[in-house]
Chain A
Protein backbone atom coordinates (compact mmCIF):
# COMPACT_ATOMS: atom_id res chain seq x y z
CA UNK A 1 0.00 0.00 0.00
CA UNK A 2 1.23 3.47 -0.82
CA UNK A 3 2.34 5.23 2.31
CA UNK A 4 2.80 8.94 2.15
CA UNK A 5 6.38 9.86 2.93
CA UNK A 6 5.47 13.02 4.80
CA UNK A 7 2.70 11.76 7.00
CA UNK A 8 3.13 14.59 9.49
CA UNK A 9 2.25 17.11 6.82
CA UNK A 10 -0.39 15.06 5.08
CA UNK A 11 -3.82 16.49 5.85
CA UNK A 12 -6.35 14.05 4.47
CA UNK A 13 -9.79 15.07 3.32
CA UNK A 14 -12.32 12.97 5.19
CA UNK A 15 -16.00 12.99 4.36
CA UNK A 16 -18.35 11.80 7.11
CA UNK A 17 -21.96 11.16 6.21
CA UNK A 18 -23.91 11.43 9.47
CA UNK A 19 -27.55 10.60 9.98
CA UNK A 20 -29.60 13.45 11.30
CA UNK A 21 -31.09 11.65 14.27
CA UNK A 22 -28.20 9.89 15.96
CA UNK A 23 -24.74 10.49 14.60
CA UNK A 24 -25.12 14.16 13.81
CA UNK A 25 -26.40 14.68 17.32
CA UNK A 26 -23.47 12.58 18.52
CA UNK A 27 -21.13 14.96 16.72
CA UNK A 28 -22.91 17.87 18.40
CA UNK A 29 -22.46 16.26 21.77
CA UNK A 30 -18.78 15.69 21.05
CA UNK A 31 -18.53 19.40 20.30
CA UNK A 32 -20.45 20.60 23.32
CA UNK A 33 -18.50 18.20 25.53
CA UNK A 34 -15.31 19.80 24.17
CA UNK A 35 -14.03 16.49 22.87
CA UNK A 36 -11.64 16.95 20.04
CA UNK A 37 -11.47 15.35 16.64
CA UNK A 38 -9.40 16.40 13.62
CA UNK A 39 -10.59 19.32 11.54
CA UNK A 40 -9.94 17.18 8.43
CA UNK A 41 -13.39 15.63 8.88
CA UNK A 42 -16.11 17.30 6.82
CA UNK A 43 -19.55 16.28 8.01
CA UNK A 44 -22.44 15.94 5.58
CA UNK A 45 -25.78 15.55 7.30
CA UNK A 46 -28.20 13.06 5.76
CA UNK A 47 -31.74 12.19 6.93
CA UNK A 48 -30.79 8.54 7.43
CA UNK A 49 -27.74 6.36 6.76
CA UNK A 50 -29.97 4.66 4.22
CA UNK A 51 -30.05 7.88 2.20
CA UNK A 52 -26.44 7.35 1.21
CA UNK A 53 -26.32 6.08 -2.32
CA UNK A 54 -23.10 4.26 -3.28
CA UNK A 55 -22.63 7.00 -5.84
CA UNK A 56 -22.24 9.58 -3.00
CA UNK A 57 -19.27 7.66 -1.71
CA UNK A 58 -17.61 7.27 -5.10
CA UNK A 59 -18.27 10.90 -5.93
CA UNK A 60 -16.66 11.96 -2.66
CA UNK A 61 -13.54 10.04 -3.67
CA UNK A 62 -13.71 11.49 -7.15
CA UNK A 63 -13.73 15.03 -5.84
CA UNK A 64 -10.71 14.45 -3.67
CA UNK A 65 -11.72 12.67 -0.46
CA UNK A 66 -9.07 10.38 0.99
CA UNK A 67 -11.49 8.53 3.22
CA UNK A 68 -15.26 8.28 3.56
CA UNK A 69 -17.08 7.24 6.71
CA UNK A 70 -20.78 6.67 7.17
CA UNK A 71 -22.31 7.04 10.63
CA UNK A 72 -25.87 6.07 11.52
CA UNK A 73 -28.05 4.98 14.41
CA UNK A 74 -27.27 1.65 16.00
CA UNK A 75 -29.07 -1.26 14.34
CA UNK A 76 -32.50 -1.42 15.92
CA UNK A 77 -32.51 2.29 16.80
CA UNK A 78 -33.16 3.80 13.37
CA UNK A 79 -35.52 6.78 13.47
CA UNK A 80 -37.29 5.21 10.51
CA UNK A 81 -37.14 1.75 12.12
CA UNK A 82 -35.15 -0.10 9.47
CA UNK A 83 -33.16 2.31 7.26
CA UNK A 84 -29.78 1.45 8.71
CA UNK A 85 -30.34 -2.28 8.11
CA UNK A 86 -30.60 -1.60 4.39
CA UNK A 87 -27.61 0.73 4.54
CA UNK A 88 -25.64 -2.02 6.25
CA UNK A 89 -26.19 -4.48 3.42
CA UNK A 90 -25.48 -1.90 0.75
CA UNK A 91 -22.27 -0.69 2.32
CA UNK A 92 -21.03 -4.21 2.93
CA UNK A 93 -21.44 -5.01 -0.74
CA UNK A 94 -20.00 -1.70 -1.91
CA UNK A 95 -16.94 -1.96 0.31
CA UNK A 96 -16.39 -5.50 -0.89
CA UNK A 97 -16.54 -4.29 -4.50
CA UNK A 98 -14.02 -1.53 -3.80
CA UNK A 99 -11.76 -4.13 -2.25
CA UNK A 100 -12.32 -6.30 -5.34
CA UNK A 101 -11.06 -3.62 -7.72
CA UNK A 102 -8.01 -2.99 -5.58
CA UNK A 103 -8.90 0.09 -3.54
CA UNK A 104 -7.31 -0.08 -0.08
CA UNK A 105 -10.15 -1.26 2.12
CA UNK A 106 -9.38 0.99 5.07
CA UNK A 107 -10.57 4.05 3.15
CA UNK A 108 -14.21 3.37 3.85
CA UNK A 109 -15.88 2.65 7.15
CA UNK A 110 -19.31 2.40 8.74
CA UNK A 111 -19.81 3.17 12.45
CA UNK A 112 -23.01 3.25 14.45
CA UNK A 113 -22.98 6.29 16.74
CA UNK A 114 -25.95 7.27 18.89
CA UNK A 115 -26.88 10.78 20.02
CA UNK A 116 -25.47 9.98 23.46
CA UNK A 117 -22.12 8.76 22.15
CA UNK A 118 -20.12 11.96 21.83
CA UNK A 119 -17.08 10.12 23.09
CA UNK A 120 -17.48 7.36 20.54
CA UNK A 121 -17.87 9.92 17.78
CA UNK A 122 -14.65 11.65 18.66
CA UNK A 123 -12.77 8.38 19.11
CA UNK A 124 -14.09 7.04 15.82
CA UNK A 125 -13.02 10.11 13.92
CA UNK A 126 -9.61 10.15 15.55
CA UNK A 127 -8.96 6.54 14.69
CA UNK A 128 -10.33 6.88 11.15
CA UNK A 129 -8.20 9.94 10.42
CA UNK A 130 -5.17 8.12 11.79
CA UNK A 131 -5.92 5.18 9.51
CA UNK A 132 -6.26 7.40 6.44
CA UNK A 133 -3.05 9.21 7.34
CA UNK A 134 -1.28 5.89 7.39
CA UNK A 135 -2.74 4.97 4.00
CA UNK A 136 -1.73 8.29 2.48
CA UNK A 137 -3.32 10.17 -0.33
CA UNK A 138 -6.09 8.51 -2.31
CA UNK A 139 -4.62 7.96 -5.73
CA UNK A 140 -6.64 5.01 -6.95
CA UNK A 141 -10.07 6.53 -6.88
CA UNK A 142 -9.48 10.21 -7.49
CA UNK A 143 -10.27 12.09 -10.64
CA UNK A 144 -7.14 13.62 -12.12
CA UNK A 145 -9.06 16.69 -13.16
CA UNK A 146 -9.65 17.62 -9.53
CA UNK A 147 -5.97 17.87 -8.61
CA UNK A 148 -5.55 21.57 -9.30
Chain B
Protein backbone atom coordinates (compact mmCIF):
# COMPACT_ATOMS: atom_id res chain seq x y z
CA UNK B 1 0.00 0.00 0.00
CA UNK B 2 2.86 2.36 0.83
CA UNK B 3 4.18 1.87 -2.68
CA UNK B 4 0.89 3.11 -4.11
CA UNK B 5 0.93 6.21 -1.91
CA UNK B 6 4.56 7.00 -2.77
CA UNK B 7 3.88 6.74 -6.47
CA UNK B 8 0.71 8.81 -6.20
CA UNK B 9 2.56 11.51 -4.28
CA UNK B 10 5.32 11.62 -6.90
CA UNK B 11 2.83 11.98 -9.74
CA UNK B 12 0.90 14.68 -7.90
CA UNK B 13 4.03 16.63 -7.01
CA UNK B 14 5.45 16.46 -10.52
CA UNK B 15 2.19 17.95 -11.74
CA UNK B 16 1.64 15.04 -14.09
CA UNK B 17 -1.75 14.40 -12.53
CA UNK B 18 -4.15 16.84 -10.89
CA UNK B 19 -5.83 14.42 -8.58
CA UNK B 20 -5.82 10.84 -7.42
CA UNK B 21 -8.84 8.56 -7.48
CA UNK B 22 -8.51 5.78 -4.95
CA UNK B 23 -9.99 4.52 -1.71
CA UNK B 24 -10.13 6.36 1.59
CA UNK B 25 -9.82 4.87 5.06
CA UNK B 26 -13.25 4.48 6.66
CA UNK B 27 -14.25 4.01 10.26
CA UNK B 28 -13.27 0.35 10.12
CA UNK B 29 -11.10 -1.79 7.90
CA UNK B 30 -14.20 -2.97 6.05
CA UNK B 31 -15.75 0.33 4.97
CA UNK B 32 -13.30 2.21 2.75
CA UNK B 33 -14.97 4.67 0.39
CA UNK B 34 -14.01 5.70 -3.15
CA UNK B 35 -12.37 9.13 -2.94
CA UNK B 36 -10.58 11.85 -4.87
CA UNK B 37 -7.35 13.14 -3.31
CA UNK B 38 -6.19 16.59 -4.40
CA UNK B 39 -2.92 16.83 -2.52
CA UNK B 40 -0.05 14.75 -1.22
CA UNK B 41 -1.22 15.73 2.27
CA UNK B 42 -4.66 14.26 1.71
CA UNK B 43 -3.15 10.92 0.74
CA UNK B 44 -2.56 10.13 4.41
CA UNK B 45 -6.11 8.74 4.40
CA UNK B 46 -5.47 6.57 1.32
CA UNK B 47 -6.07 2.89 1.86
CA UNK B 48 -5.90 -0.26 -0.23
CA UNK B 49 -6.98 -3.53 1.32
CA UNK B 50 -9.16 -6.54 0.74
CA UNK B 51 -12.32 -4.48 1.18
CA UNK B 52 -11.61 -2.05 -1.68
CA UNK B 53 -14.11 -3.78 -3.93
CA UNK B 54 -15.60 -0.63 -5.47
CA UNK B 55 -14.93 -0.37 -9.21
CA UNK B 56 -13.47 3.10 -9.76
CA UNK B 57 -14.01 3.08 -13.53
CA UNK B 58 -17.49 4.46 -12.99
CA UNK B 59 -16.08 7.58 -11.30
CA UNK B 60 -13.77 8.15 -14.28
CA UNK B 61 -16.82 9.23 -16.30
CA UNK B 62 -17.05 12.29 -14.04
CA UNK B 63 -13.27 12.66 -13.88
CA UNK B 64 -13.15 12.93 -17.67
CA UNK B 65 -15.04 16.22 -17.37
CA UNK B 66 -12.50 17.74 -14.99
CA UNK B 67 -9.41 19.77 -15.88
CA UNK B 68 -6.20 17.81 -16.19
CA UNK B 69 -5.27 14.20 -15.65
CA UNK B 70 -6.61 11.90 -12.98
CA UNK B 71 -4.54 9.12 -11.53
CA UNK B 72 -6.76 6.10 -11.00
CA UNK B 73 -6.09 2.75 -9.42
CA UNK B 74 -7.76 -0.10 -11.26
CA UNK B 75 -7.86 -3.71 -10.27
CA UNK B 76 -7.66 -6.23 -13.12
CA UNK B 77 -11.44 -6.64 -13.35
CA UNK B 78 -12.04 -2.86 -13.09
CA UNK B 79 -9.82 -2.37 -16.12
CA UNK B 80 -12.35 -4.25 -18.30
CA UNK B 81 -14.95 -1.63 -17.39
CA UNK B 82 -12.55 1.16 -18.29
CA UNK B 83 -11.87 -0.32 -21.72
CA UNK B 84 -15.58 -0.73 -22.31
CA UNK B 85 -16.13 2.93 -21.34
CA UNK B 86 -13.33 3.93 -23.73
CA UNK B 87 -15.10 2.05 -26.48
CA UNK B 88 -18.25 4.01 -25.72
CA UNK B 89 -16.36 7.31 -25.54
CA UNK B 90 -17.54 7.86 -21.97
CA UNK B 91 -14.07 8.25 -20.50
CA UNK B 92 -11.04 10.04 -21.84
CA UNK B 93 -7.95 7.82 -22.03
CA UNK B 94 -5.76 10.89 -22.45
CA UNK B 95 -6.97 12.31 -19.15
CA UNK B 96 -6.32 9.15 -17.17
CA UNK B 97 -3.11 7.87 -15.70
CA UNK B 98 -3.92 4.30 -14.84
CA UNK B 99 -2.03 2.33 -12.25
CA UNK B 100 -2.97 -1.31 -12.50
CA UNK B 101 -3.09 -2.38 -8.92
CA UNK B 102 -2.74 -5.97 -7.82
CA UNK B 103 -5.67 -7.87 -6.37
CA UNK B 104 -5.89 -11.12 -4.47
CA UNK B 105 -9.66 -11.27 -4.27
CA UNK B 106 -11.95 -8.74 -2.65
CA UNK B 107 -13.98 -9.35 0.48
CA UNK B 108 -17.55 -8.71 1.51
CA UNK B 109 -18.24 -8.02 5.15
CA UNK B 110 -21.73 -9.42 4.58
CA UNK B 111 -20.23 -12.84 3.95
CA UNK B 112 -18.68 -12.93 7.40
CA UNK B 113 -21.26 -14.54 9.60
CA UNK B 114 -20.62 -12.68 12.85
CA UNK B 115 -22.39 -9.99 14.89
CA UNK B 116 -20.72 -6.84 16.07
CA UNK B 117 -17.58 -6.93 13.91
CA UNK B 118 -14.97 -4.50 15.22
CA UNK B 119 -11.81 -5.43 13.38
CA UNK B 120 -10.58 -7.96 10.85
CA UNK B 121 -7.00 -9.13 10.60
CA UNK B 122 -5.58 -10.73 7.50
CA UNK B 123 -7.50 -8.56 5.02
CA UNK B 124 -4.57 -6.35 4.08
CA UNK B 125 -2.86 -6.12 0.72
CA UNK B 126 -0.46 -7.51 -0.42
CA UNK B 127 -0.15 -9.53 2.77
CA UNK B 128 -3.47 -11.26 3.09
CA UNK B 129 -3.98 -14.34 5.18
CA UNK B 130 -5.69 -17.56 4.19
CA UNK B 131 -7.77 -17.17 7.30
CA UNK B 132 -9.25 -13.91 8.53
CA UNK B 133 -9.34 -13.27 12.26
CA UNK B 134 -12.46 -11.36 13.19
CA UNK B 135 -12.72 -9.44 16.46
CA UNK B 136 -16.29 -8.83 17.50
CA UNK B 137 -18.14 -7.40 20.45
CA UNK B 138 -18.96 -10.96 21.34
CA UNK B 139 -15.50 -12.49 21.05
CA UNK B 140 -13.13 -13.61 18.33
CA UNK B 141 -13.90 -15.80 15.37
CA UNK B 142 -12.20 -16.87 12.16
CA UNK B 143 -13.31 -17.25 8.58
CA UNK B 144 -11.37 -18.34 5.54
CA UNK B 145 -10.44 -15.60 3.08
CA UNK B 146 -12.11 -17.54 0.28
CA UNK B 147 -15.41 -17.83 2.09
CA UNK B 148 -15.51 -14.08 2.66
CA UNK B 149 -14.79 -13.19 -0.97
CA UNK B 150 -17.29 -11.39 -3.17
CA UNK B 151 -19.21 -13.63 -5.55
CA UNK B 152 -17.37 -12.14 -8.53
CA UNK B 153 -13.97 -13.19 -7.21
CA UNK B 154 -14.99 -16.83 -7.30
CA UNK B 155 -15.29 -16.42 -11.08
CA UNK B 156 -12.22 -14.17 -11.39
CA UNK B 157 -11.39 -13.10 -14.95
CA UNK B 158 -7.67 -13.33 -14.30
CA UNK B 159 -4.62 -11.37 -13.24
CA UNK B 160 -4.19 -9.33 -16.37
CA UNK B 161 -5.01 -5.63 -16.68
CA UNK B 162 -6.73 -4.78 -19.93
CA UNK B 163 -5.41 -1.24 -19.83
CA UNK B 164 -2.85 0.53 -17.66
CA UNK B 165 0.14 2.85 -17.77
CA UNK B 166 2.04 1.05 -15.07
CA UNK B 167 1.46 -1.83 -12.73
CA UNK B 168 2.06 -2.07 -9.00
CA UNK B 169 1.56 -5.21 -7.00
CA UNK B 170 0.93 -8.88 -7.60
CA UNK B 171 -2.45 -10.36 -8.38
CA UNK B 172 -3.86 -13.80 -7.83
CA UNK B 173 -6.41 -15.62 -9.96
CA UNK B 174 -9.02 -16.50 -7.37
CA UNK B 175 -11.44 -18.35 -9.64
CA UNK B 176 -12.70 -21.54 -8.08
CA UNK B 177 -16.08 -22.04 -9.64
CA UNK B 178 -17.77 -22.12 -13.02
CA UNK B 179 -19.05 -18.71 -14.08
CA UNK B 180 -22.17 -20.12 -15.71
CA UNK B 181 -22.99 -22.94 -13.31
CA UNK B 182 -25.76 -21.05 -11.53
CA UNK B 183 -27.29 -19.90 -14.82
CA UNK B 184 -27.24 -23.46 -16.13
CA UNK B 185 -28.87 -24.71 -12.93
CA UNK B 186 -31.74 -22.28 -13.39
CA UNK B 187 -32.08 -23.12 -17.07
CA UNK B 188 -32.61 -26.72 -16.05
CA UNK B 189 -35.60 -25.81 -13.86
CA UNK B 190 -39.22 -26.06 -14.96
CA UNK B 191 -40.92 -22.77 -15.93
CA UNK B 192 -42.82 -22.87 -12.62
CA UNK B 193 -39.62 -23.26 -10.61
CA UNK B 194 -37.87 -20.54 -12.59
CA UNK B 195 -40.75 -18.18 -12.06
CA UNK B 196 -40.94 -18.95 -8.34
CA UNK B 197 -37.18 -18.43 -7.97
CA UNK B 198 -37.15 -15.02 -9.61
CA UNK B 199 -40.38 -13.98 -7.96
CA UNK B 200 -38.94 -14.62 -4.52
CA UNK B 201 -35.64 -12.90 -5.33
CA UNK B 202 -37.08 -9.90 -7.13
CA UNK B 203 -39.91 -9.31 -4.69
CA UNK B 204 -37.21 -8.16 -2.26
CA UNK B 205 -36.27 -5.31 -4.61
CA UNK B 206 -36.80 -1.91 -3.03
CA UNK B 207 -36.12 0.00 -6.24
CA UNK B 208 -33.27 1.94 -4.67
CA UNK B 209 -31.50 1.92 -8.05
CA UNK B 210 -28.13 1.18 -6.45
CA UNK B 211 -27.47 -1.54 -9.05
CA UNK B 212 -28.07 0.92 -11.84
CA UNK B 213 -26.13 3.80 -10.35
CA UNK B 214 -23.06 1.77 -9.51
CA UNK B 215 -22.94 0.06 -12.91
CA UNK B 216 -20.15 1.34 -15.18
CA UNK B 217 -22.19 0.29 -18.21
CA UNK B 218 -25.24 2.24 -17.00
CA UNK B 219 -23.89 5.61 -17.97
CA UNK B 220 -26.89 7.17 -19.68
CA UNK B 221 -27.35 10.77 -18.64
CA UNK B 222 -31.02 10.12 -18.17
CA UNK B 223 -32.25 6.61 -17.53
CA UNK B 224 -35.38 5.51 -19.36
CA UNK B 225 -36.79 4.53 -15.98
CA UNK B 226 -36.43 8.12 -14.77
CA UNK B 227 -38.42 9.35 -17.72
CA UNK B 228 -41.51 11.36 -16.98
CA UNK B 229 -42.83 10.47 -20.42
CA UNK B 230 -44.24 7.10 -19.43
CA UNK B 231 -45.72 5.81 -16.22
CA UNK B 232 -42.78 3.83 -14.95
CA UNK B 233 -43.02 3.57 -11.21
CA UNK B 234 -39.26 4.18 -11.14
CA UNK B 235 -38.72 4.27 -7.38
CA UNK B 236 -41.74 2.41 -6.09
CA UNK B 237 -42.09 -1.33 -5.73
CA UNK B 238 -45.74 -1.12 -6.70
CA UNK B 239 -46.11 -4.43 -8.44
CA UNK B 240 -44.09 -7.48 -9.18
CA UNK B 241 -44.27 -6.67 -12.88
CA UNK B 242 -42.26 -3.48 -12.62
CA UNK B 243 -39.50 -5.17 -10.69
CA UNK B 244 -39.11 -7.76 -13.41
CA UNK B 245 -39.31 -5.24 -16.22
CA UNK B 246 -36.74 -3.00 -14.56
CA UNK B 247 -34.21 -5.75 -14.06
CA UNK B 248 -34.74 -7.36 -17.47
CA UNK B 249 -34.50 -4.07 -19.33
CA UNK B 250 -31.51 -2.97 -17.29
CA UNK B 251 -29.71 -6.22 -18.03
CA UNK B 252 -30.73 -6.03 -21.68
CA UNK B 253 -29.47 -2.49 -22.00
CA UNK B 254 -26.03 -3.58 -20.84
CA UNK B 255 -26.07 -6.89 -22.74
CA UNK B 256 -22.94 -7.19 -24.82
CA UNK B 257 -21.45 -4.28 -22.87
CA UNK B 258 -21.52 -5.75 -19.37
CA UNK B 259 -18.05 -6.93 -18.37
CA UNK B 260 -19.53 -8.96 -15.51
CA UNK B 261 -17.73 -6.81 -12.93
CA UNK B 262 -20.28 -7.85 -10.34
CA UNK B 263 -20.88 -4.42 -8.82
CA UNK B 264 -24.68 -4.78 -9.11
CA UNK B 265 -24.69 -7.84 -6.88
CA UNK B 266 -22.15 -6.32 -4.50
CA UNK B 267 -24.24 -3.24 -3.76
CA UNK B 268 -27.75 -4.70 -3.68
CA UNK B 269 -29.02 -4.04 -0.14
CA UNK B 270 -31.31 -7.04 -0.48
CA UNK B 271 -28.66 -9.43 -1.77
CA UNK B 272 -30.46 -10.16 -5.03
CA UNK B 273 -28.15 -12.16 -7.35
CA UNK B 274 -28.45 -9.60 -10.14
CA UNK B 275 -25.39 -10.96 -11.93
CA UNK B 276 -27.55 -13.90 -13.02
CA UNK B 277 -29.36 -11.69 -15.53
CA UNK B 278 -26.12 -10.40 -17.00
CA UNK B 279 -24.55 -13.83 -17.11
CA UNK B 280 -27.57 -15.32 -18.82
CA UNK B 281 -27.11 -12.80 -21.64
CA UNK B 282 -23.36 -13.41 -21.74
CA UNK B 283 -23.88 -17.17 -21.87
CA UNK B 284 -26.41 -16.85 -24.71
CA UNK B 285 -24.19 -14.44 -26.62
CA UNK B 286 -21.26 -16.83 -26.28
CA UNK B 287 -23.20 -19.81 -27.51
CA UNK B 288 -25.07 -18.01 -30.31
CA UNK B 289 -22.64 -15.46 -31.65
CA UNK B 290 -19.25 -16.69 -30.49
CA UNK B 291 -17.24 -16.13 -27.33
CA UNK B 292 -17.26 -12.47 -26.38
CA UNK B 293 -15.89 -10.71 -23.34
CA UNK B 294 -16.78 -7.05 -23.10
CA UNK B 295 -13.95 -4.76 -22.06
CA UNK B 296 -11.12 -6.75 -23.61
CA UNK B 297 -10.79 -4.91 -26.90
CA UNK B 298 -12.00 -1.35 -27.46
CA UNK B 299 -12.10 -1.93 -31.23
CA UNK B 300 -13.99 -5.24 -31.33
CA UNK B 301 -17.50 -5.29 -32.74
CA UNK B 302 -20.07 -5.72 -30.01
CA UNK B 303 -22.46 -8.65 -30.37
CA UNK B 304 -25.62 -6.56 -30.40
CA UNK B 305 -24.36 -4.04 -32.90
CA UNK B 306 -23.30 -6.64 -35.41
CA UNK B 307 -24.87 -9.67 -37.08
CA UNK B 308 -24.30 -12.45 -39.56
CA UNK B 309 -26.74 -13.67 -42.17
CA UNK B 310 -26.66 -17.10 -40.59
CA UNK B 311 -27.72 -16.00 -37.09
CA UNK B 312 -30.15 -18.27 -35.26
CA UNK B 313 -33.83 -17.44 -35.48
CA UNK B 314 -35.59 -16.38 -32.24
CA UNK B 315 -37.59 -19.60 -32.47
CA UNK B 316 -34.49 -21.39 -31.19
CA UNK B 317 -35.65 -20.41 -27.70
CA UNK B 318 -39.00 -22.17 -27.96
CA UNK B 319 -37.25 -25.17 -29.48
CA UNK B 320 -35.02 -25.41 -26.42
CA UNK B 321 -31.89 -24.96 -28.52
CA UNK B 322 -30.28 -22.57 -26.05
CA UNK B 323 -30.94 -24.24 -22.76
CA UNK B 324 -29.25 -27.42 -23.84
CA UNK B 325 -26.42 -25.84 -25.76
A92 touches B314 (CB 8 A): yes
B244 touches A141 (CB 8 A): yes
**CB closest chain-A residue, reference B248:** A97
The smallest C-beta distance from A18 to any residue of chain B, in angstroms, reads 16
- B contacts with A: majority SS: helix
A95 touches B317 (CB 8 A): yes
CA distance A13 to B256 in the complex (A): 32
Q: Which residues of A contact B238 (CB under 8 A)?
A: 145
A143 touches B241 (CB 8 A): yes
Per-position 1/0 for B237-256, Cβ under 8 A of A: 01111101100110110010
CA distance A69 to B287 in the complex (A): 24
- Asked if B76 CB lies within 8 Å of chain A CBs, one says no
A96 touches B317 (CB 8 A): yes
- Asked if B323 CB lies within 8 Å of chain A CBs, one says yes
A102 touches B193 (CB 8 A): yes
Q: Which residues of A contact B196 (CB under 8 A)?
A: 102
Q: How many B residues touch A, CB cutoff 8 Å?
A: 49
B249 touches A55 (CB 8 A): yes
Question: Within A17-61, which residues are at the interface with B (CB < 8 Å)?
Answer: 54-55, 58-59, 61
CA distance A140 to B312 in the complex (A): 27
- Asked if A90 CB lies within 8 Å of chain B CBs, one says yes
CA distance A96 to B197 in the complex (A): 16
- Choose the segment among A4-12, A103-111, A117-125 that binds chain B (4+ C-beta atoms closer than 8 Å): A103-111
CA distance A10 to B286 in the complex (A): 40
Q: How many A residues touch B, CB cutoff 8 Å?
A: 40
A88 touches B191 (CB 8 A): no
- Asked if B135 CB lies within 8 Å of chain A CBs, one says no
B277 touches A97 (CB 8 A): yes
A110 touches B280 (CB 8 A): no
Question: Within A59-107, which residues are at the interface with B (CB < 8 Å)?
Answer: 59, 61-62, 75-76, 82, 85-86, 88-106
**CB closest chain-A residue, reference B249:** A55
- The residue that A92 contacts in the complex, of B240, B280, B288, with Cβ under 8 A, is B288
**CB closest chain-A residue, reference B289:** A89
CA distance A144 to B318 in the complex (A): 26
A101 touches B309 (CB 8 A): no
A-B contact pairs, 17 of them (CB 8 A): A54-B248, A58-B249, A59-B230, A85-B311, A88-B311, A89-B304, A92-B311, A93-B281, A93-B285, A95-B314, A97-B281, A101-B248, A102-B194, A102-B195, A102-B198, A141-B244, A145-B238
Known pairs A100-B187, A101-B248; list 12 more (Cβ under 8 Å).
A75-B309, A76-B309, A88-B307, A92-B312, A94-B252, A96-B280, A97-B252, A100-B194, A101-B195, A102-B193, A106-B318, A108-B314
Q: Give chain A's interface residues, CB within 8 Å of chain B.
A: 1, 54-55, 58-59, 61-62, 75-76, 82, 85-86, 88-106, 108-110, 140-145
